[in-house]
Amino acid sequence: MQNGLDDSLLFPSRLLEELDWSQCSAQFKPAISATAPGDNLILRPLQASDYDTGFLQILGQLTSVGDVSREMFQSRFDSMKACKDTYYILVLEDICTSQVIGAASLIVEQKFIHSAAMRGRVEDVVVSKDYRGKQLGKLLVQTLTLLAKHVGCYKVTLECSDDNIKFYNNFGYEKSAENYMVARFKD
């Protein structure tokens, strides 16, 4: 327990160890993986104590986070953890600074179609400005793509700007013919 927060992981870290990297579609030079992301870095599931390690600040480099209190964070963490096999949030931590320097999410949706299959969605991929150019965004996306397959998703999707299409093509993602529509209720 750190600062009153439960240090439990959002999902079992063994899932990262079970990934089949022989199915990796991206190339890493130099070689990195979920179990060896680089010097002084670890890739792991989100834990409740990440409220104090910069997780929300990293998300703030991607989009508006708002004012999230410790209690709000813990409540959301507990809610996500209770939805077993649904939320897989990865963080990259610099173990020298004990700070989160990257994050990405896989959300698994249970369906009735495709014989009651599951669909994955990759979201909220971000790497700290100070750590970009080290293949870490690529590592996050590849790990979540392999994880989606490992947990049984029949497909995995993501949303991106036109500028990022080429990046995501490296992982086997293709631009679909469907239109992406949105109805926003909050920023």
Model confidence at 54: pLDDT above 50: yes
List the structure tokens of 107.
Answer: 């959300």
Span 89-103, pLDDT tens digits = 999 999 999 999 999
Model confidence at 187: pLDDT above 70: no
More confident residue, 66 or 187: 66
Q: What is the pLDDT of residue 171?
A: 81
Span 130-179, pLDDT tens digits = 999 999 999 999 999 999 999 999 999 998 888 888 888 888 888 888 87
Instruction: Work out the angle at residue 95's Cα, subtended by the Cα atoms of residues 94 and 101, and round it to the nearest 5 degrees.
Output: 20
More confident residue, 110 or 3: 110
Q: What is the pLDDT of residue 6?
A: 47
Query: What is this structure's pTM?
Result: 0.90
Instruction: Assess if CATH 2.60.40.290 describes domain 14-169.
Output: no
Q: What is the pLDDT of residue 152?
A: 96
Using 50, 70 and 90 to split pLDDT, how confident is the model at 7? low
The number of CA neighbours under 13 Å toward the Cβ of 70 is 8
Q: What is the pLDDT of residue 26?
A: 84
Using 50, 70 and 90 to split pLDDT, how confident is the model at 2? very low
Q: What is the pLDDT of residue 135?
A: 94
Q: Is 60 helix (H, G, I), strand (E, B) or coil?
A: helix
Q: What is the pLDDT of residue 160?
A: 85
Model confidence at 105: pLDDT above 50: yes
Phi, psi (deg, nearest 5) at residue 24: -65, 125
Percent of the chain with pLDDT over 70: 96
92 neighbors 103 (Cβ within 8 angstroms): yes
Model confidence at 42: pLDDT above 90: yes
168 neighbors 141 (Cβ within 8 angstroms): yes
Model confidence at 1: pLDDT above 70: no
